[in-house]
Amino acid sequence: MKSKIPRPTVCRLCMVSRLLEKLHLQGRESISSTELGKLSDISPYTVRKDFSFLGDLKVLNRCYDIVFLNNIIRRRLQLEGEKLVCVVGLGRIGSAILNYDSFLSHGYKIVLGFDSSINRVETIKTDISVYPAYEIEERVHFLSIDFAILAVPASAAQEVAQRLINGGVKGILNFSQSIIKTEVDGIVIQNIDLVNELDFIRARLN
Amino acid sequence: MKSKIPRPTVCRLCMVSRLLEKLHLQGRESISSTELGKLSDISPYTVRKDFSFLGDLKVLNRCYDIVFLNNIIRRRLQLEGEKLVCVVGLGRIGSAILNYDSFLSHGYKIVLGFDSSINRVETIKTDISVYPAYEIEERVHFLSIDFAILAVPASAAQEVAQRLINGGVKGILNFSQSIIKTEVDGIVIQNIDLVNELDFIRARLN
DNA sequence: TAGATTGTTAATCGATTAACAATC
DNA sequence: TAGATTGTTAATCGATTAACAATC
């Protein structure tokens, strides 16, 4: 049985994986822990310590083999294969995300959109199938949707999240201005609050 | 001289401040560290420890006075007063953010938008002033813009960031798919990569 | 007063950094 | 070989948790 990876390490490995992908596209074949650290603002010690959770790593030119390393990271974090995603709340932010191109090439296929306004559902211009919000549970369940991205008003967030979870969603990326929570185990929720992000930047300037 | 607040504490205090605001709007007047902890997924020990950086706190009904506490947090983190913000990259995500309503009532006034496409600048429908990207340095400097939100293609991100910093911007919230960095002290950059956020949710499910 | 909560100090826990032998 | 880098163990550092006296 492989040891559990600490959360900060999981976070960094995700970032590093994204970075390795870009380096690969640039034609790079290998990289050292020191250079990887510089590019991602992680100390080389931490880079190597994080990699120690991955088992044996192939070495190329005395450095890490970029393709091999990225494959190992993605296998270990179970980031392989395509996941299905829906977007709830098709206001400005929601519809921008609904049409966000980069998800598809990175393992996330957006297949459904929902909005509480029938009028919005009928008039929105998009290639994705959109439905009224009262159909969330049924449709999410029917298509076995894995993740949801939430961009609804704060007042609706918690209730919508519950219905998504009822429908079988396992992870929620929440852009609504209200922290959502769940008692249920095995559900991961990530809250992103734009005002809060600016506040945090501002506070760190001190 | 007040002691420096650790970064995790700054992050939590920002979140707590947002929460206190909502509780205030709901008419609540006081709250205990235990309840606050439950609402924000922070242990009551940590809540109280965090508050110990704030100096003496007024107590109401044996609990924290919500309005007073929030004021103290915002004063201590220097979150008072309005800051000026620009948005660079007016694609779907960028223009959604350009018109995001909630910033204004929370101390952030979006006053400028930029895009590298003159055509986009001329055709976009918005009440905010928008200009071609080559005017960034001049206009950001002229209006003393404090923060920028970046939603440009990955390939342009680093260069645009540099020009924003040259123009005098102190903080950047970066939604482009490329980590941006700066050697300059006194600049805070927060990178948010949507694919990375979904990857992180997915990896935590294991 | 009795019960509850704060504010702070001490103990624990976990993550990062440093060091270095092994490897290429 | 000599130089550089990995992989891992030990040392350090910092954050969270626990405990409890002081306060209301």
A1 pLDDT exceeds 80?
A: no
Give me the mean pLDDT over the A85-109 stretch. 97
- Using a CB-CB distance cutoff of 8 angstroms, which residues of chain A are in contact with residue B7? 204
- The CA–C1' separation of A47 and D13, in angstroms, is 18
Q: Is A48 within 7 A of strand D by CB distance?
A: yes
Q: Check pLDDT > 60 for residue A53.
A: yes
For strand C, which nucleotides have at least one atom less than 7 Å from a protein CB?
3-9, 14-19, 24
Which residues from the 147-176 window of protein chain B have CB within 7 angstroms of nucleic acid chain D? none
| Amino acid symbol at A10 | V
pLDDT band at A2, cuts 50/70/90? Answer: low
Write the DSSP symbol of residue B99.
T
The whole-angstrom separation of Cα B168 and Cα B26 is 39
Question: Mean pLDDT, to the nearest integer, of A6-25?
Answer: 96
**Which residue from B76, B192, B133 is spatially nearest to A194, judged by alpha carbons?**
B192
Q: What is the pLDDT of residues B36-63, one digit of tens each?
A: 999 999 999 999 999 999 988 877 778 9
Give the one of B18, B95, B97 whose C-beta lies nearest to A196's C-beta: B18
Q: How large a percentage of chain A has pLDDT more than 90?
A: 91
What span, in angstroms and rounded, lies between the C-alpha atoms of B162 and B130?
19
Q: What is the mean pLDDT of residues A53-75?
A: 88
Considering only CA atoms, which of B183, B195, B107, B191 is closest in space to residue B151?
Answer: B191
Q: Specify the pLDDT at position A61.
A: 73
Measured between alpha carbons, how far is B92 from A143 in angstroms, rounded to an integer?
27
Residue entry with tokens 């939604």: B175
Please enumerate in sequence order all residues whose Cβ is within 8 A of that of A198, keeping only pairs 6 or more positions apart, or say none. Answer: B83, B85, B103, B108, B147, B171, B173
How far apart are the C-alpha atoms of A17 and A79, rounded to whole Å? 10
Q: Nucleotide C23: nearest residue by CA–C1'?
A: A62
Following DSSP, what letter does each residue of B101-149 receive, concatenated? GGGGGGTEEEEEEEES-HHHHHH---SSEEEEGGGHHHHHHHHT--EEE
Res B1: pLDDT: 45
Q: What is the pLDDT of residues A22-52, one digit of tens each?
A: 999 999 999 999 999 999 999 999 999 999 9
Average pLDDT of the residues in A168-183 = 94
Q: Mind listing the pLDDT tens digit of every residue in chain B (206 residues)? A: 467 899 999 999 999 999 999 999 999 999 999 999 999 999 999 999 999 999 888 777 789 999 999 999 999 999 999 999 999 999 999 999 999 999 999 999 999 999 999 999 999 999 999 999 999 999 999 999 999 999 999 999 999 999 999 999 999 999 999 999 888 889 999 999 999 999 999 999 98
